[in-house]
Every structure is written in C-alpha cells, then in structure tokens.
C-alpha cells in the first residue's frame, strides 16, 4: 500500500470547506474589519462587526486557529490521500505549518526578515509581513492548533471508514 493514493474523498473536502467558512465568520462578525485583510480589502462590504452581536465570545479568540488547521488538513487529505499514514503525515505537516506561523508572531522581526521579497508580488502572500507584525502570539492559539490537528486526524479516520472515496478522473 502506498502512502498517497489516487483517490478523492468528497466528504472530507466538504467538511473542511464548511469548517473553513465557519472559522471565517469570526473575522466577519466579531472582529473589526481593519484587523483582517480579506474583510478590509474585499470588494463587497462583508463585515458584520457591530451589526450582529458577538457570536463566538471568548472562543472567537482561538477558533480561527483551530478551524484553519482542521480545515486545511481535511481538504488536503480529501484531495491526496485515503491511507492512515498519509492522514497522519498531512495532519502533522499542517500542525507544524500553523504552529510556525503562531510562533512567528512571537518573533515577528525575525519572521519578517525571513519572508522572501517575491511574496509582495503575489496577492494572497503580500500581506504576510503584516500578519507577523500585527499578530499576537498566544499559547491558547497553539493549543487550538494542536487540538484542530488531532481532531482533523480523528475525523478523517472516521470519514474514511465510510468508503466515500472515488477514483480521480
């Protein structure tokens, strides 16, 4: 059995997209638009900050960290793997990636210095330095990242048992 198989698990991808959208609601509803690039710079006025009551309360502080690692683990696993070892590898890689971004907020000067200059020419990467400069390191965010990664791994295992994988076209 190979680590990566040519299978797509649609349910894993849909679950990941749903969680990603749910995590994005924190930025749309509970945070000022100027604190979030995709809200502040969107063509449409999508911010509902101070229009709706605070939906997430204190959970909203770390929920995006949980949702990001969970969602991207699910989406990646749904696209590239239906093997247990592949799921663990994917979960671990997203855990490391998100953790490094969180730790980068603690050491923002060093993190910004490590960002290559060509990031500025790519729309979704050009705000990376701002992420590190304006972000705040939080141990609870690291705990949320770990919880999201482990939760995604268990969810993938459960969903993969349902045999909803289909051959890639």
Tell me the per-residue pLDDT of 79-104, one tens digit each, with 9 for 90 and over: 986 678 888 999 999 999 999 999 99
Tokens linked to 71: 């969602």
pLDDT at 85: 84
pLDDT at 67: 97
Confidence grade of residue 134 (pLDDT, cut at 50, 70, 90): confident
Domain boundaries, the chain: 8-94+139-162
CA dihedral 117, 123, 125, 127 (to 10 degrees): 90
């Amino acid at each position: 059995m190979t680590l990566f198989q040519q299978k797509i698990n649609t349910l894993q991808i849909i679950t990941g997209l749903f969680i990603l959208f749910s995590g994005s609601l924190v930025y749309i509803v509970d945070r000022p638009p100027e604190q979030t690039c995709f809200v502040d710079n969107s063509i449409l006025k999508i911010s509902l900050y101070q229009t709706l009551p605070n939906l997430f309360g204190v959970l909203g502080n770390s929920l995006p960290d949980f949702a990001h690692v969970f969602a991207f683990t699910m989406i990646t696993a749904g696209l590239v793997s239906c093997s247990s070892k592949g799921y663990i590898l994917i979960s671990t890689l997203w855990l490391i990636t998100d953790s490094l971004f969180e730790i980068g907020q603690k050491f923002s000067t060093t993190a910004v210095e490590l960002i290559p200059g060509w990031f500025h020419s790519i729309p979704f990467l050009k705000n990376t330095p701002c992420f590190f400069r304006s972000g705040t390191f939080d141990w609870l965010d690291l705990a949320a990242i770990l919880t999201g990664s482990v939760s995604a791994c268990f969810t993938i295992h459960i969903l993969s048992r349902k045999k909803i994988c289909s051959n890639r076209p």
